[in-house]
Chains A and B, each alone.
Chain A
Amino acid sequence: DAGVTQSPTHLIKTRGQQVTLRCSPKSGHDTVSWYQQALGQGPQFIFQYYEEEERQRGNFPDRFSGHQFPNYSSELNVNALLLGDSALYLCASSLAGRGGETQYFGPGTRLLVL
């Protein structure tokens, strides 16, 4: 049973560029959430996708956008990269329901913006 997978594992970009990160959820899961973890901090919620729609969004600018595909996989896009976007980006999957269901995380993509 495959867990949550993310690609790439590491990425280096320069300011102003755009980046796309990818996530495949755990088998049987239909909901994907994205988090940003800065150094020394806990993960911060970016947004959540369910049935190919953004269901909830955290306090992140419109430069952060996403997509969910019919097979439940998801992409996170960040435009006009800033130095402060350097972080570990985590994808988590879960099964939609009452809301208490546990989210399972992938290994993350470490993004460095120079």
Chain B
Amino acid sequence: DQQVKQNSPSLSVQEGRISILNCDYTNSMFDYFLWYKKYPAEGPTFLISISSIKDKNEDGRFTVFLNKSAKHLSLHIVPSQPGDSAVYFCAVNYGGATNKLIFGTGTLLAVQP
């Protein structure tokens, strides 16, 4: 039973345009939401996060939106660059004393020059 779903296995975008990656979750008790980027042969690299008390967080070209009523999370990358081509994972946790992360299956983003 997947608690975190990334329904698009892949996404192709032109350089300079917006990339929108989506993530759905099932449990309203999740407290903290993160996006990681992963290149082949490397570990996941933290990109941006948002807590459940906010609905938007921005860091440079990256913005994460949280819609708690829809249990939906999205990552916007504007403008997209070829170096953004990677697998993007969303992850959630319950907060509290332990912060076990639950990951989605990832979306492969390809930014075409």
Contact = CB atoms under 8 A, between A and B. Distances in A.
Interface stretch (A13-21, A62-70, A76-84, A92-100): A92-100
B98 A55 contact: yes
Interface stretch (B58-66, B71-79, B99-107): B99-107
Contact of A105 (B31, B44, B98): B44
A42 B106 contact: yes
Contacts of A99: 31-32, 93-99
Given A41-B105, A90-B43, A101 B100 contact: no
Interface string A35-66: 10000111111001000000110100000000
Q: Chain A, interface size: which category?
A: 20 to 34
Contact of B101 (A40, A41, A45, A106): A45
A112 to B, nearest CB: 14
Given A45-B100, A48-B98, A99-B97, A4 B43 contact: yes
Given A40-B105, A42-B104, A42-B105, A101 B99 contact: yes
Interface residues of B, number: 29
Nearest to A98: B95
A92 B104 CA distance: 17
Given A41-B105, A90-B43, A102 B49 contact: yes
Interface of B: 4, 31-32, 34, 36, 41-46, 49, 51, 89, 91, 93-106
Given A48-B99, A101-B99, A105-B46, 8 more contacts: A40-B105, A41-B106, A98-B95, A99-B31, A99-B99, A100-B95, A102-B34, A103-B99
24 contacts: A33-B99, A33-B100, A33-B101, A41-B105, A42-B4, A42-B89, A42-B91, A42-B106, A43-B89, A58-B100, A90-B43, A90-B44, A94-B99, A100-B93, A100-B99, A101-B99, A103-B99, A103-B101, A104-B46, A105-B44, A105-B45, A105-B46, A106-B43, A108-B43
